Structure 1
């Protein structure tokens, strides 16, 4: 793993990206940019490298400049800077997050998710927590997770706002135990299961006995021990066993058997205060192994020695993963 010292061609590619994505480039500047690309194959390679890794966060750049005029140039200077003394790294990282459209609130959110601050229980980045509920059930939250707990005389209900949980359900014949997500709900018919809330779908897997899944669209499915499904409001898809459906995170690790590198990065993100960005090419690299969740820099450094990837850190707040050129 290295700390970036930007070469002149990459520096120029970053400069062009900022200029073009700011929304202020005139037609003549775009012609100059096209000429710059055609001038040297190294220019095109640098542009593809920068655009491929930073394409998603750069989509928010224009709105960042509207909200905070002058942040664009400040972020540019930070991104183009060479490795700085440790005292400057936090400032450099903060400006990089402004470039990515996050700003101060984003930096706070990377430590403690802001969306979960009003939840009954929540975990910070890199934190796991086990809670004994009033009925004796054990609820374990993965990093960056948030839940609300609503117990009544007729039902035990846990609302998963974000992240991932496993629950060991205490027996109570009078009150069913339900975990609700944005796409549906999972009711315990046994003792132990896991639920994950994703961006557009949820995932449920059963470690002991079975559960009843009901989606918001009215679909139903019984899930047995060892099975896993992803679901939306209108669709249920059985899942083959992968790192997404396993509970290795309870022991602070993730195990992959011939899965894409993107799966490992997704598992590491809740444990990494800084942002992890991976290029589409690197995301497809296949990975085998068992990896600790608590030391992302060490894990990525080891991978860079055995896989055809390179890992570059821009201070403590941004890490880019790409294939080796």
Structure 2
């Protein structure tokens, strides 16, 4: 049975953002009204808010387990909690993770616990190339998982998490299909990559053609060089180059005028710790080619060219903020 990996979900991240705004000293009446509307919009919002806002009153006994795996975490948490400057940083960031069953979180950051039952899977910072039984070549990005289901009539790859690149071996009698939560990519004699995210999946066609079918039934064929996203109901062509999109297979992050938030998303599978970027910093535009296998070096390079401040709390939490937020 597949056990979901514990992680900081989007609702929790939004709760942290509200904590930042309301605790900034400059929150307006409109901000507070918007916050109340957000709380009332979904019971999960209020639950996340109660968890985040109450963290300072929770025990840190769970840190003892994390200490046995990553020494220094208890000391980092104490600093975050006991000094005024670090207490402020806690309220401005995801350092709260140190108090949210940190032992399990630390293990999950080494290897996604929810993907261990998959036929093929990779750990944090690991890429893996596999030759399948039919002669096809499969490359898994870091923190990815896929199930391989071959039958007499079809070659099915179920992408559970992350991203894969497939070089399809010819077999006219058995089409090769990659299935995600949002639809299917049907290979038409080709080499292509598929990425599954929470809200949508993405396709990059490197050779020949691929037919996309969303779960709604919508279909569209894409030629070599094309990229697209599909979210279950519709298919949307993208402007990005397929070669740039799949540069991860060569260990590179090729960025062409993209938001820093997207760059951080690409680095997360390679970082053994939580990367948190503030909304203001996430909006910065980035251009360049960076090494995926050394995310710390990439972050330092970004800090030299972007107005950002990087704060680290032990090995598990890295915060990226706009310099104006940390002054």
SS at match of 2:245: coil
Match of 1:101 in 2: 100
Count how many residue pairs are aligned between Structure 1 and Structure 2.
269
Q: Is 1:74 the counterpart of 2:50 in the alignment?
A: no
Q: Distance in 1 between matches of 2:195 and 2:99?
A: 26
Q: Distance in 1 between matches of 2:177 and 2:155?
A: 6
Q: Deviations over 1:298-317 (max 9, x none)?
A: 21112212211111111111
Tell me if structure 1 keeps the 8 A contact 2:163–2:193: yes
Structure 1: gaps spanning 5 or more residues = 1-16, 22-32, 45-56, 79-86
Q: Is 1:190 the counterpart of 2:189 in the alignment?
A: yes
Tell me if structure 2 keeps the 8 A contact 1:178–1:188: yes
SS at match of 1:234: coil
Q: Is 1:166 the counterpart of 2:149 in the alignment?
A: no
Deviation at 1:104, TM superposition (A): 2.0
Q: Is 1:114 the counterpart of 2:113 in the alignment?
A: yes
SS at match of 1:209: strand
Deviation at 1:115, TM superposition (A): 1.4
Question: Which structure has more RCO (C-alpha within 8 Å, separation ≥ 6)?
Answer: 1
Tell me if structure 1 keeps the 8 A contact 2:225–2:242: no
Structure 2: gaps spanning 5 or more residues = 1-14, 29-44, 65-69, 79-94
Give the CA RMSD over aligned residues: 3.3
Match of 1:145 in 2: 144
Q: Measured at CA, do residues 233 and 245 of structure 1 come closer, stay the same or move farther in structure 2, by a change above 3 Å?
A: farther
Deviation at 1:58, TM superposition (A): 11
Q: Deviations over 1:224-250 (max 9, x none)?
A: 101111001111111111699611111
Q: Deviations over 1:185-239 (max 9, x none)?
A: 1110022011000001111110000011111111000011011110011111111
Deviation at 1:73, TM superposition (A): 4.5
Deviation at 1:258, TM superposition (A): 1.4
Match of 1:206 in 2: 205
Q: Measured at CA, do residues 62 and 300 of structure 1 come closer, stay the same or move farther in structure 2, by a change above 3 Å?
A: same
Tell me if structure 2 keeps the 8 A contact 1:94–1:104: no
Q: Deviations over 1:80-124 (max 9, x none)?
A: xxxxxxx85233467856446353222111110011111000000
Q: Measured at CA, do residues 244 and 176 of structure 1 come closer, stay the same or move farther in structure 2, by a change above 3 Å?
A: same
Deviation at 1:157, TM superposition (A): 0.4
Q: Is 1:91 the counterpart of 2:74 in the alignment?
A: yes
Match of 1:291 in 2: 290
- The TM-score, its normalising length taken from structure 2, stands at 0.74
SS at match of 2:304: helix
Tell me if structure 2 keeps the 8 A contact 1:97–1:107: no
Q: Measured at CA, do residues 219 and 172 of structure 1 come closer, stay the same or move farther in structure 2, by a change above 3 Å?
A: same
SS at match of 2:170: coil
SS at match of 1:211: strand
SS at match of 1:208: strand
Tell me if structure 2 keeps the 8 A contact 1:110–1:125: yes
Q: Measured at CA, do residues 244 and 63 of structure 1 come closer, stay the same or move farther in structure 2, by a change above 3 Å?
A: farther
- The TM-score, its normalising length taken from structure 1, stands at 0.74
Match of 1:181 in 2: 180
The structure number with the bigger radius of gyration is 1
